[in-house]
Structure 1
């Protein structure tokens, strides 16, 4: 390459390298911030999870793309039913996607938990939990939740807790017991990207939930 062309080309490469380095540092720094702010409030042992009046169970598909039962769904349902039995929570808010009549996460969770002997009066279904942000916004603004235990996988909890903090919820996290699952690294990698996007949602674009609706304060039934 002629010297006359190399100098500007080199300058462009250095500029691109600098931009890439800054983006990587921002990406890692954003994740480190979310993890640092939340890790002390995540418990991995169900019996010692912080007792709260309401447990939010985040929806996920009942089945994998391969047609087998989703182990992440199974872990969340198992954890939620055990938390109710151990009285770590008094009521479960089952929040998930219900965009079509063929896909209904809240009803699927409700059916599964009924089969695990969880009472109907101890469950409320939120059909507009289209995202983690929407679920937590609706918990506060529609269902009147103030103190809550978040029930999901350990890699999802930091982002969920961070959003809860930003919304003014008093939240702690209870990690659903994990089993070795093939391909979980893809979900963890996606979660790293989602944490960065969450900072933009909260502090740049001022995201709003897709749908709120009228207030429906939770009714917590007494235990026998």
Structure 2
């Protein structure tokens, strides 16, 4: 009887030990899953930040602030930026056109390519008229009404207008993306920083630009879309 009781006691003790070990194993697996999830979250957060940082930093050496220091190119691409209600260029767009006009008048380019939305709001016509009123002849202006977004403008400049070398004219926050797109597509490009460092609502522009830079990387490396080239 004593031996039987001892065996039963040992069995109970062994069972209790097993029961204690099981929760420990589950806890260990749970911690491992949590670590994997945290690692994935860190990667998901850091990867976009690293991509945007790389794209921005890799284009900085191609950005100029002074017309006099710019290397010459055949064409300046002036990117659209919207119109006022009366159909005149917005403040931001006027600054871009003024910078393009300065390039032309200083002999840095022979042509200005106005690229924007010429379908709904006739943006490129307003851009062209603004430049003509300030002394740029019609013969020196190229109009691209299919530049609905920056990727489209760069793609069409190369594939529709056969532009292989250019100065890109836009604000500083937008230049890294424009340069990345044009250079990646095959246009040897440098950029002229137009206008101000900050405009009303600049924080909103910067936030949207972060997402737009990610989108540009996806366009160049994954989707590689072909915009309409016949307009």
Q: Which range, TM-score by smaller chain?
A: 0.7 to 0.9
Uncovered stretches (5+) of structure 1, i.e. residues with no partner? 215-224
Asked whether 1:107 is paired with 2:125, we answer: yes
Relative to the length of structure 2, the TM-score reads 0.80
Q: Work out whether residues 44 and 177 of structure 1, in 8 Å CA contact, stay in contact via their aligned partners in 2.
A: no
Q: What is the aligned partner in structure 1 of residue 178 from structure 2?
A: 160
How far off is 1:16 after superposition?
A: 4.9
In the alignment, the residues of structure 2 paired with residue 142 and residue 119 of structure 1 have an alpha-carbon distance, to the nearest angstrom, of 22
Change (3 A) 1:113 1:27: same
Higher helix share: 2
Count of aligned pairs between the two proteins: 207
Asked whether 1:24 is paired with 2:45, we answer: yes
**Aligned with 2:102: secondary structure?**
helix
Uncovered stretches (5+) of structure 2, i.e. residues with no partner? 1-22
Q: What is the aligned partner in structure 2 of residue 75 from structure 1?
A: 95
In the alignment, the residues of structure 2 paired with residue 123 and residue 196 of structure 1 have an alpha-carbon distance, to the nearest angstrom, of 31
Higher Cα radius of gyration: 2
Relative to the length of structure 1, the TM-score reads 0.83
Asked whether 1:89 is paired with 2:106, we answer: no
Aligned-residue Cα RMSD (Å) equals 2.6
Q: Work out whether residues 156 and 191 of structure 1, in 8 Å CA contact, stay in contact via their aligned partners in 2.
A: yes
How far off is 1:13 after superposition?
A: 6.3
Q: Work out whether residues 125 and 143 of structure 2, in 8 Å CA contact, stay in contact via their aligned partners in 1.
A: yes
**Does 1 or 2 have the higher relative contact order (CA < 8 Å, sep 6+)?**
1
Q: What is the CA deviation profile of residues 190-209 of structure 1, one whole-angstrom value per residue up to 9, with x for unaligned ones?
A: 11111111111111122222
